[in-house]
Amino acid sequence: MIPKTFKEVIDLGDGREISIETGKLAKQAHGSVVVQSGKCMMLCTVVSNYKQSDVDFLPLTVDYREKFAAAGRYPGGFFKREARPSDGEVLTMRLVDRVLRPLFPKDYHAETQVMIQLMSHDDDVMPDAMAGLAASAAIQLSDFPFECAISEVRVARVDGEFIINPSRTQLAESDIDMVIGASADSVMMVEGEMNEISEEEMTEAIKAAHEAIKIQCAAQIRLAEAFGKKKTREYEPEREDADLAKKIHEMAYDKVYAIAQAGSAKHERSASFDAIKEEIKATFSEEELADFGSLISKYYYKAEKAAVRDLTLNEGLRLDGRKTTEIRPIWCETDYLPSVHGSSIFTRGETQALATVTLGTSREANQIDMPSYEGEETFYLHYNFPPFSTGEARPIRGTSRREVGHGNLAQRALKGMIPADCPYTVRVVSEVLESNGSSSMATVCAGTMALMDAGVQLKKPVSGIAMGLISDGDSGKYAVLSDILGDEDHLGDMDFKVTGTADGITACQMDIKVKGLSYEILVNALKQARDGRLHILDKLTETISAPREDVKEYAPKMVSVRIANAFIGALIGPGGKVIQELQKATGTTIVINEDPVTEEGVVEILGTGQEGINAVLAKIDSITFKPVVGNSYKVKVIKMLDFGAVVEYLDAPGNEVLLHVSELAWERTENVSDVVNMGDEFEVKYFGIDSRTRKEKVSRKALLEKPEGYKERAPRENNDRGSRDKDNRGRDNRNRDSRDRKRD
């Protein structure tokens, strides 16, 4: 028996639809939906334990996976099954997690899992744009304590028109690629890249996305009502004690305010705050600490947060003594590492990033192999965040989701400034050495300088800044904070990172924690971010004003040439013999790709020595050499024969041609050695393919003056062969006799 299903359809306004269906699949999950657009289908399930976990946070896991069967493909690798998530899948998980997490109650600590699986792929649909919709729709069908429906959409702009959830083809023509997450009332998350757009243009794109999200939220609510809205589950709330909270607030607030007001460095400030906390705990007995210990810590942090926020709103001062618009001191250095292709250090306050650049061939391109997308990146950036950067000791268990996300943001900030004709594959690596506020933006700044130090001809330098917001909804007061500290990130209402050139925004990432943030405040915050970004940009260009004209002496030089498809095999040689020997002899790396459009061979030559590169180019010229009829070429005798000499073109070593004895001189030549000898160099004229011999013809005598009194010999007649005509050969006579016998 097929179960009853419930379905809602969302009209995207241009003939495309998104459907949300429930009731058919995964009915033991606490909520499940199938979201479909075109042939793209994804299943989302949500489950949350009924017992609270013994932790003081929400153990939420968002998992997004793309099944290779969805695209009719096999997974790569030795084991033919899906394994660890790709970076693309991790980035989608982060997009969904950042919107869902704040909407669960702060005291809800049950282990919760959201699983989204791409089950069927459509080349015209980008599935990551629907993952947030699927997650929220499944939660709406559950009994989870969750504040409200949300959704996420991608917005692009093509020819001045905004497109919701564009295809990959449309996205390639767009100057905006942003994913926005929001409820019907508030924008909560923004992430994307842009082609140097203004703050106002970015705000307009967010508004367009939000209107589409409102429609998707309404569809989820209708589906839940039709399915039968479940009663929200009851759970054991966190313990509260209003009297204790008031007591600790009174004990801590003024002292914290005074320390915050004084302005101090991170470790000094942390030690002072810890001292206040220990002083408060000392006023309680051992029995009270055993009973109220966790509450004391909780209420102390609330008092600390309130004091720091009030200081900023009341006096415009911050934890380290800066004004709200002030940027921390910056110092930079390039060419720090002697043996890398490009390097730089960017230090802003207590945040420091060391960036390196490595140049390579297309063989080093980053291969992307996902069911929803196959391709390669010739520019990519990796971000590492070791524990010592924050003064901690903890185990390193592979690349974290945070590292993937921060690296992707920095990569998107810079990639639009890499010129299209850059011959190299470029890898940037950022090593965060200190962190107290936006190491991802430090990575953008360090990456810009390292690229210029490596000789990559950036179109324009890029800088980045992390901004914060503290607001008081009751009074309407708010403060936008430029270049936020780590502590300000935690206690603020908005954390947004903006990167760009002097002419516009190239990437952004925003997490908005306050409801109903007005677009007026958002625009003001973005404009303040622009001022800070330009200030940082000036510091970068003071250190290195423009890219190096060429790569460094020990960095590889890259030359790219195109050859006809017919010559690819000759350059590779049987079993790769020619190209392997050439690389060994010249100390170069040679990569050959085929242009899918022109079908030409694209040969990349990478080497640190110009002599080696020149030798490879000479070999390619030799292999692809085609003499032109009527032109003269210098040749060298490399072999003597009775009927002529084999000569080699000096401009194309390895290309040989026979110079017939009759073309050596105008006079009759009995012996080839009477005219030329081994090693002789002279010029010949090229006549193309001889119609009689079907071989290439060159002539030395054609470039010599005829001797005085020279007479051309009369051409031989076709039958002048010692009176041996066809009849005398007997072959034709035998054939004729045979035909006569057949007639008889």
DSSP string covering 526-575, please?
Answer: HHHHHHHHHHHHHHHHHH--S--SS--TTSPEEEEEEE-GGGHHHHH-GG
Query: Contact 455/466 with Cβ under 8 angstroms?
Result: no
One-letter amino acid of 642: D
For residue 377, the cross-strand partners are: 366
Nearest 5 degrees, angle CA 495-CA 496-CA 497? 130
Angle at alpha carbon of residue 625, lines to 621 and 629, rounded to 5°: 145
Extract the tokens encoding 618: 């000479």
Residues in the chain: 744
Is 489 among the annotated ligand-binding positions? Answer: yes
Q: Report residue 564 as tokens.
A: 């006809």
Rounded-to-integer distance, Cα 480 and Cα 528, Å: 8
Cβ atoms 125, 167 nearer than 8 A: yes
Contacts of 213 (CB under 8 A, 6+ apart): 150, 151, 152, 153, 180, 181, 182, 183, 184
Q: Which residue has the tokens 């390669």?
A: 376
Distance CA 552, CA 182 (A): 48
Residue pair 306/249 in contact by the 8 Å Cβ criterion:
yes
The response to whether 97 counts as a known ligand-binding position is: no
Closest CA to 361 of 268, 271, 427: 427
CB 343 within 8 A of CB 356: yes
Inter-residue long-range contacts of 617-624, CB under 8 Å, 24+ positions, other chains counted: 617/559, 617/561, 618/653, 619/571, 619/582, 619/654, 620/561, 620/563, 620/571, 621/651, 621/652, 622/652, 622/653, 622/654, 622/655, 623/563, 623/567, 623/570, 623/571, 623/654, 624/563, 624/564, 624/567
Q: Do 383 and 432 meet the contact criterion of CB atoms below 8 Å apart? A: yes
Nearest to 542 by CA among 461, 464, 483: 461
Exposure string (b/e) for 98-127, b if CB count within 10 Å is 16 or more?
bbbebbbeeebbbebbbbbbbbbbbeebbb
First to last CA, the chain: 90
| CA atoms of 429 and 358, how far apart (whole Å) | 9
What kind and span of H or E run contains 590?
Answer: strand 589-594
Distances (CA, A) of 476 to 187, 521, 694: 18, 11, 92
The answer for residues whose C-beta is within 8 angstroms of residue 488's C-beta and 6 or more apart is 308, 318, 319, 437, 468, 481
Question: Parallel, antiparallel, or unpaired: how do β-strands 557-563 and 589-594 relate?
Answer: unpaired
Helix, strand, or coil (residue 290): helix
- Pick the closest to residue 632 from 699, 705, 678, 679 (CA basis): 699
DSSP 685: E
* Whole-Å CA distances, 326 to 74, 341, 504, 604: 53, 34, 21, 48
Residue ranges of the binding site for Mg(2+)? 489, 495
Binding-site residue positions: 489, 495
